[in-house]
A and B are shown apart, each in its own frame.
Chain A
Amino acid sequence: MLLTINSSVILVLFAMCIGATTARAAASEAEALNTAIHYTRTKGRSSGPLQISSSGASTLNRAQIVFNGTENGAPLAEGPQGQATSYVFVLVSDTLFAPNVPHPRGHKGPSGKYMGLVVDAKVNQVDDLYLGPTPPNIAELGTVVTINLSAAVETASTSCRADHLLATALARKRLGARHRSAVLALDKCLARHHRI
C-alpha cells in the first residue's frame, strides 16, 4: 500500500514537472506580444505609439490565409509547421510601417498603414508578416482584444517588467476583474517609477 502511494505521488510529481517544462517551452500570448513589439522597434523601424490587436492563439496556416485572403492564395507552410501554434497581432501607428525586409532593386521597399505579425509560440519569433492599407480580419481567428501602447508606458514597462505589463493589459481585456489586483499593482509600479 505504502509503495503504491509513493509511486503515485512520484508519478504525479513527474507529470507536473513534464507539464511545467512543456509550458515553459512555448511562449505565452504576452511573451509573443513582447516579441512582436521588439520586432516592430528593430526590424520594423517604428518608434511611435502603437495600437495592438491580438486574436490569441491560432495556427500559422490559418493566420496566413487571413493575411492573404483566400482568393489570393497564401503561403502554405507544410506539415507540422503549418499547424504550429502561433499568436497573431495587427498593429497600427501614427506613421506608415516600413520594415527592413527584402525587395528587388529599383523597387520601393514595402510599407503599410497596418502591420500584421505572426509569432511562432515554439521559438517565440515573428515568422509571418503582412503590410497593407487595410487591416487583415483577425476576428476570423479568435476574440480580438486591443491595447494602446504609448511611448511612456513602453519606457515605464522596463522598470515594471514588460511581460507583466503586457500580460496584465491583455488580462485586463480578456479576463476583466479576475486580474484586478495585478492591474492595481502594476499601476502603482508605473506611478511610482514614472508618474504616468
Chain B
Amino acid sequence: MRIRCVLPLFLLSTAIAPSTANATWGQGCSEGKHCYAFAEVGIKTFAAIGLQDTHFSTVYDCGSGGFVDNEMWNSFAGLEGWIEVGQAVGSPYCDQVPHLFNAEETSKGVYHEYLSPAAVPENSYNWYAISDLAEENGLWHVYYSSPPGYTGWNNWAEYGGSWPRSMSYEESGMEVATEVKPSYEGSSETAYTNESLTPYVGWSNWYGARLFAESGSTCILPLPPGEGEAPGNSKFGACGA
C-alpha cells in the first residue's frame, strides 16, 4: 500500500487539455447524461478510503447547473441506493474550486446531499472515508480530514438508510455533468480496511480493481510508478473525442 500526497502532472497532459466551450462534447455527455471515469472493485468491507486530488478545473456552464467532481461511491449487495463523498467543482458555487460534499440515496429512494460552502485545495490529496468500523451496525459514517493531507478524521455525516453492516461495491473517480466540455483533471488513491481508519494500519489496496472510462469523453490511466502506483489508483479527466 503506497499513498503519496504529491502527484506530478504529466501523464494525461497531452490527452487532456483545457477545452474551449462547445455546444456539445464527447459521446453525448450532458447534465442529463452524466459521464464517468473511475476505478471499481467489489470487496466486502467495513470501510473504504478515497484520497481525491483535483488538479485543475473549469466548468464553463456552471451558471446553468453543470458540475464535475472527484468522488468515491459505495453501495450494498442487492440494494438500490448508495453513499458517496468527495469534492465538486461547479454549480451552485461558481468559483471554480472544489467544494466538499457527501450524499446518500437510501434504498427507499430518499436523497440527501450536503455541499459545503467550504473549498478544499487543488493539487493536494484530500482524504475521505466511508466506514461502519466503529459500530458495525449499518449506520455509516462519512469522514473527511481537514486539508492539507491527513490531519485526523472528522466525523462528518451519519447515514443509516437501512443499510447492512458491510458494503460490497466501491468506486472512486470522476463524474461529469455538464453541457459543455469542462477543463478537468484529477486523480484518486484508494484503500479499504476491516481493522482501523488510522492511516495505513491494516489498509489494503483495491486488488482486482478495473478502470472504466466513457469512450471519446473521459480518459483514465493507472497511476504510474513513482506517482502512487497501486491497484485502484488512477488519474483521469475529460479527454479529446
Tell me the count of chain A residues lying within 8 A, CB to CB, of chain B. 41
User: Given A45-B65, A71-B160, A100-B91, are A127 and B117 neighbors across the interface (CB < 8 Å)?
Assistant: yes
Query: Taking A101-B113, A102-B101, A120-B117 as contacts, is the C-beta distance between A76 and B157 under 8 angstroms?
Result: yes
Residue contact A123 to B117, C-beta cutoff 8 Å:
yes
Interface centre among B32, B109, B114, B159 (most CB of A within 10 A): B114
* C-alpha spacing A111/B111, complex, angstroms: 8
Q: Is B27 an interface residue (CB 8 A)?
A: no
Name the segment of B48-56, B68-76, B226-234 touching the other chain: B68-76
B103 — nearest CB in chain A belongs to which residue?
Answer: A102
Interface residues of A in 57-107 (CB under 8 A from B): 64, 67-68, 71-78, 81, 99-105, 107
**B188, CB-defined interface residue at 8 Å:** no
Residue B25 lies at the interface, judged by CB distance under 8 Å to chain A: no
Partner of A129, one of B65, B113, B154, B171: B113
Chain B interface, >50% SS class? strand
Min Cβ gap A99→B in Å is 8
CB-defined contacts of B66 to chain A, threshold 8 Å: 100
Interface string of A108-133 (1 = CB under 8 A from B): 01111000000010110111111111
Q: B residues 76-97 with Cβ under 8 Å of A?
A: 80, 82, 84, 86, 88, 91-93
Cα separation A78 to B141 with both chains bound (whole Å): 14
Query: Which of B110, B114, B156 is within 8 Å of A132, CB to CB?
Result: B110
Q: A39-60 vs B: 1/0 string, CB under 8 Å?
A: 1001111000000000000000
Check if A74 sits within 8 Å of B158, measured CB to CB: yes
Give B178's nearest chain A residue, CB to CB: A100
A67 touches B112 (CB 8 A): yes
Instruction: Give the size range of B's interface with the partner.
Output: 35 or more
CA distance A76 to B158 in the complex (A): 7
CB atoms of B109 and A133 under 8 A apart: yes
Neighbouring B residues of A133 by C-beta, 8 Å: 109-110
A42-B36 contact in complex given A74-B158, A112-B109, C-beta closer than 8 Å: no
Q: Is the CB of B157 within 8 A of A74?
A: yes
Tell me which residues across on chain B come within 8 A of A129, comparing CB atoms.
Answer: 111-115
B73 to chain A: which residues have CB within 8 Å? 104
B111–A81 contact, CB under 8 A? no
B93, B105, B106: most-surrounded residue (chain A CB, <10 A): B105
Tell me if B189 counts as interface (CB < 8 A to partner A): no
B contact residues around A111 at 8 Å (CB):
111
Q: Are B111 and A101 in contact (CB under 8 A)?
A: yes
Q: Are A128 and B160 in contact (CB under 8 A)?
A: no
Chain B residues with Cβ below 8 Å from A131 are 110-112
Q: Which residues of B contact A75 (CB under 8 A)?
A: 102, 112, 114, 142, 156-158
* B60, CB-defined interface residue at 8 Å: no
Binding site for B on A (CB under 8 A): 39, 42-45, 64, 67-68, 71-78, 81, 99-105, 107, 109-112, 120, 122-123, 125-133
11 examples of A-B residue contacts, CB within 8 angstroms: A43-B92, A64-B112, A73-B160, A102-B88, A104-B82, A105-B175, A107-B80, A109-B34, A111-B111, A127-B115, A129-B111
